[in-house]
Structures are given as structure tokens and as C-alpha cells.
Amino acid sequence: MKALTAALTAAALLMAGSALASEDLVKKNACIGCHDMSAKKVGPTWKDIAAKHKGGKVEELAAKIVSGGKGVYGKIPMPPQPKAQADSAAIAKWILSL
């Protein structure tokens, strides 16, 4: 019983941790200066991006985060984010899950 409780607690912590981690990653990589969950800033909202890439591949979206882009949502380009390379797959996965 003790082991089961411990396992359940660990699982709950892990789930909470992963949800938090993604929000933390976009903070850490300074994405939130241009992106917000539902308020349009310089860039499209996370939800707009998720809608556009519904059913898309994590690798493709991750590559776009690192290389930046323009012309998909408007006239303002997104500068490349090479520093986010290591976190890009986790961020892309999070966006696609929204």
C-alpha cells in the first residue's frame, strides 16, 4: 500500500512537472516577449500556432522554432532562436498538445 501511494504520488508529480516545464521553457527562452497563450503580441498566440499545425510533426515545428520564419501569420518575421535548440522539441510537443 505504501509503495502504491508512493508510485501514485511520483506519477502525479511527474505530470504536474511536465506541464510546468513547458511553460517554464518558453519563459526561459524568452519566447513570451512575443508569444502569449491567447493574447496576440508580436507573434501569433500559442493557440493559433497549435491550430495551424494540428496533426503536424514535432520535428517540423521544432525546426521552425530554431530557424524562425516569416509570412505565415503576417508581415512580422520571427528571428531564428538557435539558443532554444535543446528545448525546441519539448516546446513543439507542448504547443501541439494545446
Distance between CA atoms of residues 38 and 28, nearest Å: 19
Q: Does 44 bind ligand HEC (CB under 6 A)?
A: yes
Our finding on whether 11 is near ligand HEC (CB under 6 A) is: no
96 binds ligand HEC (CB under 6 A): no
Residues 6+ apart with CB under 8 A from 24: none
Segment lying near ligand HEC (by CB under 6 A), choices 6-14, 16-24, 27-35: 27-35
CB hemisphere CA count around 15 (13 angstroms)? 5
Q: Residues 47, 72, 82, 97: which binds ligand HEC (CB under 6 A)?
A: 72
Give me the half-sphere count of Cα atoms (radius 13 Å) on the Cβ side of residue 36: 6
Residue with cell 508580436: 42
Point out which residues bind ligand HEC (CB under 6 A). 26, 29-31, 33-35, 42-44, 49, 52, 61, 64-65, 69-74, 76-79, 81, 84, 91, 95
